[in-house]
Structure 1
Amino acid sequence: MSTLAPRVSTLNALAPLKAWWPILIGLLVLYGPTYWMLAHGLWNTDEYAHGPIILVVTLFLIWQQRAVFMAGAGVPPTRVEAATGWVFLVFGLLAYAVGRSQDILLMEVGSQIPVILGALLVTLGVRAARALWFALFFLLFMIPLPGFVVDTATGPLKQYISVIAEQALYMAGYPVARSGVMLTVGQYQLLVADACSGLHSMFSLSAMGLLYLYLMERTSAARNLIIMAAILPIAFAANVVRVMVLILVTYHLGDEAGQGFLHDFAGIMLFVFGLLFLFALDGVLGFIFPDRRRARAQV
């Protein structure tokens, strides 16, 4: 009896999860090919290299809320919750079918949010969806940006970065001139390409900044709003510094150094510095808007 008791208790603990095995298998069948395609395509580019990180963090956030699946398994959803869930589920499946058949990654990848939300509402109800809201929201950062958004934002960003970099280096005494987004420093000419616009850096830093706020659970609304408002300016400033660093590297060390390893390394380091600056800003704001810890409910 003593040997069987632990096994029985373990099986009883896992019993509420049995209803989710068909759903998990269905999600793997649907989105396994999608993730395989992303892993061998879009995620190998600099612009969307954050995709695997978003996926891993989302799985971690869901695992953190695993108690929801255990506690809510015995409480069936209401008719309204189930009906709403079916609406989201059907909508998500239709979006997936269109995206998959027409090779529209925006719809194919984005469809997983209404699909998962619908499955949660149908099986566990609003309580589970509310507990996992940030995990679902975080999946938005995995969706590729629409082409018209990239085209609209890239041009002005490159222009602003070129102007600021030129003016700052000229004031520092460097022989730099600008024609549009083409910068001339000494005998070298550098084009501020689309990848240097900082759009995707803003996207990635926004994801990490919002994740940081979610995990920290700050109680001060003013502190949270200031940090959220600072994310995009910090990302933009970090990218301006990146372009200036590459110009200086090219000027002092040559074109090969500026376009080689240091080019990619500068992007990584300045993204890290952007995050560190965000953390430092949060620390400073902590003195102005002290954080009051919320009392956690005892389960």
Structure 2
Amino acid sequence: MAISVCADHLESVMDDPTQVPVGNKFMNQAPSRISLLPHPGWRVALPAVVLTLIAILVVFRETAFSMVDIWVRSGTYAHGFIVPPMTLWLIWRMREKVAVLAPRPCYPAVFLLATAGFAWLLGEVATVNVVPHFALIFMLVFAVLAVLGPVVARSIAFPLLFLFFAVPFGDFTQPKLMEWTAKFTVLGLRLTGVPVYSEGQNLVIPSGSWSVVEACSGVRYLIASVTVGTLFAYLTYHSLKRRLLFVGISIIVPIIANWLRAYMIVMIGHLSGNKLAVGVDHLIYGWVFFGVVILTMFWIGARWREDEPPVVPASVPTSGETVGGVPTVSSVLAAAVVTILVAAFWPFAQRQIDQHTAQPVRQISPFGPIAGWHETRGGLYDWSPRFENYAARTQVVLEKDGRLAGLFVAYYRNQDQQHKLVSSTNVLVTSDDPLWSRIGGGTQELSLNQQPLKIRTTRLRGPGSTQMVVWQWYWVNGRWTSSDVLAKAYTAFSRLTGQGDDSAVVILYAQQAPPAEAEATLAAFADAAGEVIETALWQTADSR
């Protein structure tokens, strides 16, 4: 009888691995972690992948250093310093799971790496910083896939993808975020009974004037929140639905929080007679408020955390057994060498392209006579667009029948990351300009030298509430465009086809008094000067 009872208990133990015998009794015990021996293939694969990654970073060191330089210079992207160590830590914490997998070279990934390398080359010849930065991260990820294989790469997918947060990316959102912040601040002030006059990102209330500049856009808060929020979602939740939901919240919350921050800063300044929130405390209040909001978001998110359920393998390998076969040393080393060689080809190709540089431009070829217009001195504001690092420039004011129009042309040749036409620092007016500010803008269709062209239009406010209308477009080796993206694409195409990278920005401006007269003045001037401007630019390009 006793034996029968014992047998029944033994059967129940076999069915329930959480029951362990203690004397003649049984007690519950959580399933213990079963350690598997590391796969022997790692003795070759680990040093191979490490050396491959180091080699790629050495080959593309200028791109890597340019990323680090932005981390140092910009507080918005200072989080980049923690991304690589965090990636290594994320991989280290799952080392036992990864160690039992068989690393297997994956040669198709080399073609993906080659695609990323070509994208890097396009970004370099087009002088677009963000493209080489993203391409470098893609090459690192594809190098891991090529040397270790899809099984291993899939198991560390999140740490690898987290590397993309190291790329300084997000400035393009600033104009829209500034616009939203200004509109919400105006709405909040009016709802609380404060009269406000707004013009673009400039606000005037009874106690003073305020401007929504780049620092008020909230892009710094947004990028920090998304980076930390994504990591938090990965570590806290295990279902894809909850992870995506929290990442979405980490995008929405900082945007709304920045709107509230801007409104409160203006209200604090207004209610205190501009004694508070107008100096260093302006930034302090902002960061304190943002910190409270983000900590609250994480505290609420932690209440729905998901603990990883214990997993008991259905079948456990015996001692010394591993998952998968052992890759040969030659196959792993061959994959590493091929990966490095394919990656190294693209800097070599860039050096070949850079050898075909033209002679420096000393000056823009003189403009010929413009029918009905003659050069004059004075009469227009002492204003110049904030375009920098050009090879040559010219600026003149012309007059016809008492109407005045200004012409500014900046010419670029042998462009690089410091000397390029399309750049975030090349603007009509900076946000901290003490005299001029942007109050509106849009686009307009124009026929320039019998070529249809969509140009940018901007309205500026200057000293004494004077206003000016500005038209702007680019010339890239004979192609007209006002699009930054198309200008970059034309530049890359020209360089890849051996035509050089000669480019220019053309800016016309006139006094807005009244607005319709300024538009008519610029239209008449553009119609008369279009062919003359294009001829001068071609003559300058031919001088190479």
TM over 0.5, yes or no?
A: yes
d(CA) in 2 for partners of 1:62 and 1:48?
23
Structure 2 counterpart of 1:62: 91
Structure 2 counterpart of 1:235: 254
Amino acid of the residue matched to residue 57 of structure 2?
L
Q: Is residue 2:104 matched to residue 1:76? A: yes
**Structure 1 residues 161 and 32: CA distance shift in structure 2, 3 A:** same
Structure 1 counterpart of 2:188: 168
Alignment of structure 1 residues 140-179 onto 2, 5 Å: 140-145=164-169, 150=172, 153-174=173-194, 176-179=196-199
**Structure 1 residues 71 and 255: CA distance shift in structure 2, 3 A:** farther
Percent of pairs with identical residues:
23
Kindly indicate which of the two structures has a greater share of residues assigned to helix. 1
Amino acid of the residue matched to residue 186 of structure 2?
E
d(CA) in 2 for partners of 1:45 and 1:249?
28
Does structure 2 retain, via aligned residues, the 8 Å contact 1:105–1:144? Answer: no
d(CA) in 2 for partners of 1:256 and 1:142?
39
Superposition deviation, residue 208 in structure 1: 1.4
d(CA) in 2 for partners of 1:231 and 1:145?
17
d(CA) in 2 for partners of 1:20 and 1:242?
46
Q: Is residue 2:44 matched to residue 1:29? A: no
Superposition deviation, residue 130 in structure 1: 0.8
d(CA) in 2 for partners of 1:124 and 1:13?
10
Structure 2 counterpart of 1:119: 143
Does structure 2 retain, via aligned residues, the 8 Å contact 1:205–1:235? Answer: yes
The alignment partner of 2:116 has SS state of helix
State the Cα deviation string for residues 68-105 of structure 1 (Å, max 9, x = none): 66444x5434xxxx232111222233333444465432
d(CA) in 2 for partners of 1:235 and 1:63?
31
**Structure 1 residues 25 and 199: CA distance shift in structure 2, 3 A:** closer
Structure 2 counterpart of 1:197: 217
2:283 to 264, 270, 273: 264
Does structure 2 retain, via aligned residues, the 8 Å contact 1:181–1:192? Answer: yes
1:135 to 159, 163, 175: 159
d(CA) in 2 for partners of 1:207 and 1:63?
20
Does structure 2 retain, via aligned residues, the 8 Å contact 1:162–1:181? Answer: yes
The alignment partner of 1:245 has SS state of helix
State the Cα deviation string for residues 137-183 of structure 1 (Å, max 9, x = none): 22233333377xx2xx4444333322322333344454544333222
State the Cα deviation string for residues 114-151 of structure 1 (Å, max 9, x = none): 2122222222111121122112222233333377xx2x
The runs of 5 or more residues in structure 2 that have no matched partner are 1-39, 317-544
The alignment partner of 1:139 has SS state of helix
Superposition deviation, residue 253 in structure 1: 5.4
State the Cα deviation string for residues 36-56 of structure 1 (Å, max 9, x = none): 333333542233233223333
Amino acid of the residue matched to residue 33 of structure 1?
E
Q: Is residue 2:279 matched to residue 1:250? A: no
Does structure 2 retain, via aligned residues, the 8 Å contact 1:88–1:117? Answer: no
The runs of 5 or more residues in structure 1 that have no matched partner are 1-11
d(CA) in 2 for partners of 1:55 and 1:276?
24
For normalisation by structure 1, the TM-score amounts to 0.75
Superposition deviation, residue 200 in structure 1: 4.2
d(CA) in 1 for partners of 2:82 and 2:276?
29
d(CA) in 1 for partners of 2:87 and 2:191?
45
Aligned length: 274
d(CA) in 2 for partners of 1:123 and 1:280?
40
Does structure 2 retain, via aligned residues, the 8 Å contact 1:227–1:278? Answer: no
Amino acid of the residue matched to residue 51 of structure 1?
G
